[in-house]
A and B are shown apart, each in its own frame.
Chain A
Amino acid sequence: MQPGEQRDEVEMLSLMLLIRRFEERASQQYQAQKIGGFCHLYIGQEAVVTGAVAAVRDDDYIITAYRDHAHALARGTSANACMAELFGKATGCSRGLGGSMHFFDKHHHMYGGHAIVAAHVPLGVGLAFAIKYRGEDRVTLCFFGDGAINQGAFHEALNLAALYKLPIVFICENNLFAMGTSVKRSTSLKQIVDRAEGYDIPGEIVDGMNFREVRDKISEVVDSIRKEPHPAFLEARTYRYRGHSMSDPASYRTKDELEKYRLDDPITRLRAQLTREGKLTNEQFDQLDKRAKETVMAAVKFAEESPDPPLEKLYDYTYADGAKA
């Protein structure tokens, strides 16, 4: 995308549908034991990452935590490469060596996929440091959950970013629960965004269920950063429909609460906005959804048919020069 150019909203709705259908299918494949380890689904939060990528250039940097499938898809990693990674196959976006929590895509400037809570926030600051060091006008979008804000690494990273005035947007995807612990039970603040104030970083709250609001707010922040590098903080209030991971039935919250958020579904919302404005018909929506489902089904087939990473290359990815130590 070129500066100033607005990403097509129908295209972004289509991306949200792809993420939703991908995650639903991942859930099914996990239950069928085609996917191992941990698997954290993004269903319900789609407006956050799609709104964010709609606001930045393709050469801006993105880094996130372990709920990362959507971030790779949103950046342009193919559904094939994402599904193959979940299946642990050589054709996966991390060659089957990373798994669900460690998606990487250098070509699309997707810097992971990091599974130790908040440990990647300093890495995001390092990406932003490199931007400023080289005098570029890129920005780094650093995503994390509400669980990350009580880790030391998070605090150290925010302080460093503010101290060195680095071009980074810290995006807290507040889905109200760090695994099973609600924000109320984990955080001694009325609102998460106040964490930013402690480091003199401008912070705002956005409705994370509203694609347009996320996109417009991040666009505004990113414009400001490109003019003069500085960190910014956004608390995107969102909700995950599923448990923390596949093994979590989410019994710590009520059905009523889930239903309340489902009514505010980010896909339904953008669809309604577009329909109301005459930019999308029901037929077109059905067509987009059908295409998303087909893409994901094709990805499952691709993943299934892909080879495992070769055993004889086991030692090839430990050192960059291929040397054994």
Chain B
Amino acid sequence: MREITYRQALNEALAEELERDPNVFLMGEEVAEYQGAYKVSSGLLQRFGPKRIIDTPISENGFAGLGIGAAMVGLRPIIEFMTFSFSLVAFDQVVNNAPNMFTMSGGQFNIPITFRGPNGPAHQLGATHSHAMENFYASVPGLKVCTPATPRDAKGLLKTAVRDNNPVLVLEAELLYSSKGMVEPPDEELLIPLGKAEVKREGSDVSVICYAQTVPLALKVAEQLEEEDISAEIVDLRSIKPLDEKAIYDSVAKTHRVVIVEQDHPFCGVGAEVCYRIQKNIFDELDAPIIRVSQEDVPMPYNECLEHAVLPNAEKLTAAVKQVCYA
């Protein structure tokens, strides 16, 4: 194992999959000559050439659709959205064409495509650039959605996504691109299956279910709570769809108390689905009502203080944990 950044981990995943399979290509705005808006594709143009690392005009609908068409005849496109906020311009392609094709064609055309890029609020980007799209996309049958929070998960999930025969969305996190973590050396194949959560920290008093940018937040809060003798178990979903229900139930059966901390909006958010499943399937295990911590139900304000207030943050999460623990 060695320590690399989330950005490097994604870069390695791309390079390894491009190397392994000539049908894989990377396409998006600024992915080639500019080396990636967030430098995730740094060096790939030099290594794989312009045939496989392809800059596009600002035409999300157009190049997302191009990728889907190419996937219909067996190529395995990786389409980068500069941010998933811009995927809204390609919403029709991602929601109508990619996941419906397999069904509509009676199973003749599967779409082995990966859509990837940063998702969720970053820092003071305002309402249009702060969208967390996981609940939108996870609600669409035919799509798979994963949300890596660590360099290791970023690498392993992206590689798996590229090899999947279905449209997979890899929702990265802009604020995590420079974060570091331990990852297997490059000569060791790292594939992390979709639909497998991971307990990032063992605990006995409360299960904090989180994903993406809320994972480091939850880990930080768990450390502080330890000092107050509250032992929080941190369950990183890693994939929103498929959802690892077993991992969730195993943890809840152990702690009997649950806080879900999500980066999307509260209404119809990811936590609502997780919460429903817990109460439906293991109601008797619960010692307290489940609490969700999410964004506030407002468009994202630019102002830094207000932004902090809108986001799921340490204060809110700490208060929620104490509430379910009756502490």
Contacts and interface: CB of A to CB of B under 8 A. Distances in A.
The bracket for how many chain B residues form the interface is 35 or more
Interface stretch (A154-162, A188-196, A203-211, A240-248): A154-162
Interface string B54-78: 1011010111111111111111000
B195 interface: yes
Interface in B60-113: 61-75, 92-93, 96-97, 99, 101-110, 112
Contact of B97 (A92, A119, A319): A119
13 contacts: A105-B108, A119-B96, A125-B65, A126-B68, A127-B72, A127-B73, A129-B75, A153-B65, A159-B62, A160-B66, A317-B102, A318-B102, A318-B103
5 nearest A-B residue pairs (beta carbon)? A126-B69, A122-B65, A156-B62, A95-B106, A320-B110
A104 B61 CA distance: 22
Contacts of B144: 319, 325
Given A126-B65, A159-B62, 7 more contacts: A61-B73, A112-B101, A113-B104, A114-B97, A127-B70, A320-B110, A325-B141
A122 B107 contact: no
A193 B242 CA distance: 46
A244 B105 CA distance: 23
Interface in A107-158: 111-114, 116, 119-130, 133, 152-153, 156-157
B121 interface: no
B204 interface: no
B73 A96 contact: no
Contacts of A61: 73
A116 B92 contact: yes
Interface of B: 25, 51, 54, 56-57, 59, 61-75, 92-93, 96-97, 99, 101-110, 112, 141-142, 144, 164-166, 195, 241-243
A130 B59 CA distance: 19
A80 interface: no
A254 to B, nearest CB: 35
B241 A130 contact: no
Contact of A156 (B54, B59, B70, B112): B59
A169 B107 CA distance: 27
Contact of A122 (B69, B103, B141): B69
Given A126-B70, A129-B66, A320-B166, A97 B106 contact: yes
A94 B100 CA distance: 12
Contacts of B195: 325
Interface string A294-325: 00000000000000000000001111110111
B103 A317 contact: yes
Nearest to A114: B97
Nearest to B138: A325
A315 B59 CA distance: 33
A323 B242 contact: yes
B141 to A, nearest CB: 5
B229 to A, nearest CB: 39
A11 to B, nearest CB: 27
Nearest to A319: B166
B69 A130 contact: yes
Contacts of B103: 97, 317-318
A140 to B, nearest CB: 9
Contacts of A121: 65
Nearest to B107: A317
A123 B104 CA distance: 15
B163 to A, nearest CB: 11
A104 B108 contact: yes
Among A104, A105, A164, A320: residue with most chain B CB under 10 A: A320
A319 B164 CA distance: 10
A311 B102 CA distance: 17
A102 interface: yes
Contact of B105 (A102, A130, A318, A325): A102
A164 to B, nearest CB: 8
A290 interface: no
Contact of A102 (B64, B70, B104): B104
Contacts of A126: 65-72
Nearest to A96: B106
A114 to B, nearest CB: 8
B65 A317 contact: no
A122 B106 contact: no
A123 B93 CA distance: 9
Contact of B75 (A93, A119, A123, A133): A133
A98 interface: yes
A123 B25 contact: no
A1 interface: no
Nearest to B59: A156
Contacts of A323: 242
A291 interface: no
A133 B25 CA distance: 10
A319 B72 contact: no
B62 A321 contact: no
A160 B61 contact: no
A318 B104 contact: no
B300 to A, nearest CB: 26
Given A92-B106, A97-B103, A160 B97 contact: no
B142 A319 contact: yes
A184 interface: no
Contacts of A157: 62, 65-66
A135 to B, nearest CB: 10
Contacts of B142: 318-319
Contact of B59 (A98, A105, A106, A159): A159
A133 B22 CA distance: 10
A163 interface: yes
